[in-house]
Amino acid sequence: MTESWKEFMKRMQDNHKSYNDWVAQTGGLTEPRAEIKIYEQIEKMVNEKVDHPDHYTTGGIETWDYIEAKGLNYNLGNVVKYVSRSEHKGNTYTDLKKAMAYLQREISLYEK
């Protein structure tokens, strides 16, 4: 979980007796320092990887958008998810085995 700018500033303020002490200790700076701006850039890059990882966006459409557009249920949605990312995440065999497990579970619903 990443820390927001506000959470970061709150934590920085809480680490000092008061906001005034914090300002005094930092030389009265009121704008973020360069390292804080770097922190924000890193946070943005991390959030991008969390929200839109490469293995979900390959092919120009995010996997969950396709799943929702087709109205697939949980099991079939997971089949599509694991198959579509299998060659892009580095563990093809494991992802294909997971896809097979979800497909077998879906098939078993029709065998009852």
Domain ranges of the chain: 5-51, 59-110
How far lies 91's CA from each of 63, 88, 95, 100, 103, in Å?
17, 8, 6, 14, 19
Q: Return the number of other C-beta atoms located less than 10 Å from residue 51's C-beta.
A: 9
pTM over 0.85: no
Q: Report residue 26's pLDDT band, with 50, 70 and 90 as the boundaries.
A: low
Q: Report residue 7's pLDDT band, with 50, 70 and 90 as the boundaries.
A: confident
CB contact at 8 A, 48 and 61: no
CA gap 43, 3 in Å, rounded? 8
Q: Which residues neighbour 92 within 8 Å (Cβ) at sequence distance 6 or greater?
A: 86
pLDDT digits over 57-97, tens only? 667 788 888 999 999 999 999 999 999 988 887 889 999 99
